[in-house]
Each structure stands twice: as C-alpha cells, then as structure tokens.
C-alpha cells in the first residue's frame, strides 16, 4: 500500500518549484536530446537561474531550513523500502541527515547547476570533499597522478597521508607538460588524474580538455579542484569527470563558513552516497543544513561578485606591472596560459580573482604585506580567498608550507611569492590609491627604515 504523506492531521503539500506553471522537465530533456540549446549551455549564471527553486514551508520565497537529524514515516513498510533504495530523496523520502537532508540537497542542486553536472553533494569542508573523492576512486595499491602545484593540504594528503594510511601513492608532475603526464600514468594502476583548474598559488591554468583526453585514453578518472575559478571555468563541460570546491572561498564570499562540494556524474555521486561503500555516507562529512541555507542565499549573486573580483584583479595587475613589479595573473598577455584561459573560460567572467606578486624573498614579501595592511590600509594579512576585502599571504611560509623547499621549487613557488585575493569593497580608484601608496613606498630607498621603526 502506498504511504499517505500525512502526519498529525496535516497533509504535506506538493513541493512548489519556480516556474512550475510554464516550465516542464520533459521539455528540457527533449531539448537536450535534440541538441537544441538550453539556458545553461553557455552560462553558469543562466544555469543557476534555471535551477529548481525551493519555496518555504508556508510559501515563503526562501526555502525552509530542515534542521531534523531523523525523519518519520507513517507505515513500517516504508522504512524498509527506504533502506533498500526503492524510496529516496528524489521522491521526498528521507531517512537521516547524514545521508540526505532536504536543505543540503537543495544546495546540491544549485551546485550541480553551477558546474553543469548531473549531481552534486555538499560537505562540511573542501578537504572532506577531496578526501572522500579520492578514497572512493582509489583502493589500496592504486596510484594517482597529480599536479606539482597544489594547495598544501591536498599535497600533504596525496604525498604523505594516503601512502601511509591507505597504500595509495602519488606521482607529482608539471601539469603543463602533457608528455610527462602521459608517461606518469601507469595503465591498470593509475586511477585518478588530479589537478586544480587554476593552481594554488602559482595561478598556472590547466589545459582541461587535453588533460582529460590523455587521462580518458588510459581509463583514468579526471578530478579537478575548481575553487579558484567558479564561474570562470566549467571543468565538466571541458571533459573532467568530477569537480571539487572549497565552498568556503568565493562561493561563500564572507569568510564565515567552512564547506565543500563534489559535483559530477550522477552514477559517481550516487556511488559516493552508497550505504555500503560510499565514502560520503560512511565517513560522515555532513554539512549542517543551516550552513546550506546560508550558502543557497549567496549563490545567486556569485556571478556578480566574481565579475568584480576579476575586473579589479585585472586592473591592479596591469597597473602593478607598469610600475615594474613582477606580477603573475592569467589576464596579462605575458602569462604562459593567457590564451588558453581565454579560449576555454566562460565569457564575461574574466581571468580570476587572484593575482601574485613575486617579491623574490620572504623578507621583502613580508615588508610589502606589512605596508599594505598597516601603512596604506589595503587588505588584510590572512589566508583563504574570495572575501569582499583583499586577503594576502606569503604562500611559501603559509598555505604551501607543507611542501619541502625542493617541492616548492618544482612547483614554481618562490620564497617571496605574495598571493593576493582581490576584494571588491569600496570604489576601485579609492582602493587602487591605497595599493599604489604601499607599492610606491616599497620602492623608496628608505623603506627598510620605515619597516624597522614599526
């Protein structure tokens, strides 16, 4: 007997979705099969606007927060059918929030729309998303090929933790050397090719289409961390199999939330949620539904924020280069992958919201950051990125400190590399004048005296 979804005299209303009166899922499926363009084919913003919108329990324009850890049923038989997988969240049946939660699931739909994937699952941190993905795809004795330039925590996971704890080994290669990538793959043993779309902190841009072709020719799964380039790049559309985000960064935008996401083919994401073998299910990187609600309110204006992050980064990089500083930014024509990003990036979103200034030594990097924060009041010395205020750090002694000196040299991380996540608060010219003031002071001969006095 089919369960009647009632409880204590109330009937659960049928879920309302945005545009329900004029938008038919069958029409979308037909359009896709026919090859006709749909709203999300060319624009992550359009994809988000076309995604299912959850209304509140009483018709509120914002979805309700489902804070329950566990969910009730009206018939004993229903619970059995839920545990066999016959009934699930796709039909509004929920068991326990470590498995699926309605609020977190809604955010997952938004993330899938953003990345153009069939499915997505949101986690409690970016590192949990990375760890669960690698452990789902690899078993003891398996092998990973990864980029030399990666976030320090990811590098430590691949290079130190997984070999010790799981007997999963990694070969690190220059991701721009495609022949080296090809040679590093051991057929039958290598399971994953792992890299960042835009590398942390070197801002090397990966040729996702070519790397995906190389990996797929040898039966290897391509996993891409797109934390540095939401909206700017869409790795799945370029050939990748799985996309990972530290949602804490640009997507959150306020430096107040720790979260992650895994976006990919439905078969893979569902496998990661399996009751018996799924890493997302069994390792428990559960996102708090209150966090999911907060993030769902920020995604709709991610496109606007990214455009301004990217616009200011390009303006500042161009002007700093003219002042004689060694600036690394994909939007500059002398960047090695400028033309590549121009050809594979999503139009209108620019070249990314981060830039680097190579001061050559850690001492000079520290002086520059000191002047920026304490002399001209431009930005904060802090790790992370995607905040509305500019954040800056010396990568070699902070977010890449897990790497040895040799590994940093191979990754192209100079001791004086200052990574700058460009904020958008204030007027552009107002903030440039503050930045310029510190840069000019840095070029003064008595700069060392100023620094020492303070």
Residue 346 and residue 232 in contact, taking contact as beta carbons nearer than 8 Å: yes
Residue 395 carries which DSSP code?
G
Task: Please return the burial class of 157, using the count of CB atoms within 10 Å of its CB with bins 0-12, 13-18 and 19+.
Answer: buried
Cα–Cα distance measured from residue 118 to residue 265, given in angstroms and rounded to the nearest whole number: 5
> Of 100, 153, 97, which Cα lies nearest the Cα of 130?
153
Q: Say what the pLDDT of residue 452 is.
A: 58
Q: Tell how far CA 97 is from the center of its chain.
A: 23
Q: Say what the pLDDT of residue 202 is.
A: 95
3-state secondary structure of 51: coil
Count other Cβ atoms within 10 Å, centred on residue 274.
14
Show the tokens assigned to 399: 């977010």
The interaxial angle of helices 362-370 and 428-443, nearest 10 deg, is: 130
Q: Tens of pLDDT along 389-431? A: 999 999 877 777 777 888 878 878 889 999 999 999 999 999 9
> Of 252, 294, 190, 283, which Cα lies nearest the Cα of 384?
252
Cα–Cα distance measured from residue 272 to residue 256, given in angstroms and rounded to the nearest whole number: 27
Q: Say what the pLDDT of residue 410 is.
A: 82
* CATH placement of domain 44-66+101-299: 3.40.640.10
Q: Say what the pLDDT of residue 11 is.
A: 29
Residue 314 and residue 329 in contact, taking contact as beta carbons nearer than 8 Å: yes
- Whether the upstream peptide bond of residue 201 has omega within 30° of 0, thus cis, is yes
Q: Tens of pLDDT along 184-211? A: 999 999 999 999 999 999 999 999 999 9
Count other Cβ atoms within 10 Å, centred on residue 239.
17
For each of the chain's 454 residues, which pLDDT tens digit applies?
444 333 322 223 334 344 433 334 443 333 343 343 344 456 899 999 988 888 988 899 999 999 999 999 999 999 999 998 899 998 999 999 998 999 999 999 999 999 999 999 999 999 999 999 999 999 999 999 999 999 999 999 999 999 999 999 999 999 999 999 999 999 999 999 999 999 999 999 999 999 999 999 999 999 999 999 999 999 999 999 999 999 999 999 999 999 999 999 999 999 999 989 999 999 999 999 999 999 999 999 999 999 999 999 999 999 999 999 999 999 999 999 999 999 999 989 999 999 999 999 999 999 999 999 999 999 999 999 999 999 999 987 777 777 788 887 887 888 999 999 999 999 999 999 999 999 999 988 667 665 555 4
Residue 168 carries which DSSP code?
-
Residue 304: its H or E element: helix 302-322
The most distant pair of C-alpha atoms in the chain lies apart, rounded to whole Å, by 84
Sorted by where each begins, the domain ranges of the chain are 44-66+101-299, 301-450
Q: What value does the CA radius of gyration of the chain take, rounded to a whole number of Å? A: 23
Does 1.20.140.10 match the CATH number of domain 301-450?
A: no
Q: Which whole-number Å values give the CA distances from 27 to 37, 54, 106, in the listed order?
A: 12, 20, 22
pTM for the whole thing? 0.89
């Amino acid at each position: 007997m089919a369960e009647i979804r009632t409880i204590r005299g109330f009937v659960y209303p049928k879920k309302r979705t945005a545009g329900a009166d004029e938008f038919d899922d069958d029409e979308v499926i037909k359009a896709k099969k026919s090859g006709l363009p749909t709203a999300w084919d060319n624009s992550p913003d359009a994809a988000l606007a076309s995604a299912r919108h959850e209304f509140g329990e009483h018709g509120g324009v914002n979805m309700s927060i489902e804070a329950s850890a566990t969910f009730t049923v009206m018939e004993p038989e229903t619970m059995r059918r839920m545990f066999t997988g016959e009934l699930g969240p796709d039909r509004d049946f929920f068991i326990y929030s470590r498995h699926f939660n309605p609020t977190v699931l809604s955010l997952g739909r938004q993330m899938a729309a953003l990345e153009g994937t069939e499915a997505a699952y949101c986690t409690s941190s970016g590192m949990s998303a990375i760890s669960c993905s690698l452990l789902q795809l690899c078993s003891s004795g398996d092998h990973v090929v990864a980029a030399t330039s990666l976030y320090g925590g990811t590098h430590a996971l691949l290079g130190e933790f997984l070999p010790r704890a799981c007997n999963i080994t990694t070969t690190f290669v220059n991701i721009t050397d495609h022949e080296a990538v090809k040679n590093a793959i051991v057929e039958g043993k290598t399971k994953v090719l792992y890299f960042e779309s835009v590398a942390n902190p070197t801002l090397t841009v990966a040729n996702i289409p070519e790397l995906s072709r190389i990996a797929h020719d040898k039966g290897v799964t391509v996993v891409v961390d797109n934390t540095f380039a939401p909206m700017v790049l869409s790795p799945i559309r370029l050939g990748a199999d799985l996309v990972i985000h530290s949602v804490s960064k640009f997507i959150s935008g306020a430096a107040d939330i720790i979260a992650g996401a895994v976006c990919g083919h439905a078969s893979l994401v569902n496998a990661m949620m399996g009751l018996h073998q799924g890493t997302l299910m069994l390792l428990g990187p559960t996102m708090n539904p209150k966090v999911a609600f907060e993030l769902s309110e920020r995604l709709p204006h991610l496109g606007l924020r990214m455009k301004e992050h990217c616009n200011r980064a390009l303006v500042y990089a161009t002007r700093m280069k003219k002042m004689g500083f060694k600036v690394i930014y994909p939007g500059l024509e002398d960047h090695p992958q400028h033309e590549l990003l121009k050809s594979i990036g999503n139009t209108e979103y620019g070249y990314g919201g981060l830039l680097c200034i190579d001061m050559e030594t850690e001492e000079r990097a520290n002086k520059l950051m000191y002047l920026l924060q304490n002399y001209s009041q431009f930005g904060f010395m802090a790790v992370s990125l995607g905040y509305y205020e500019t954040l800056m750090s010396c990568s070699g002694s902070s977010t890449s400190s897990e790497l040895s000196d040799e590994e940093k040299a191979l990754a192209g991380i100079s001791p004086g590399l200052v990574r700058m996540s460009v904020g958008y608060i204030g007027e552009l010219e107002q903030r440039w004048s503050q930045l310029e003031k510190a840069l000019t002071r840095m070029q003064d001969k008595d700069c060392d005296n100023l620094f020492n006095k303070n």
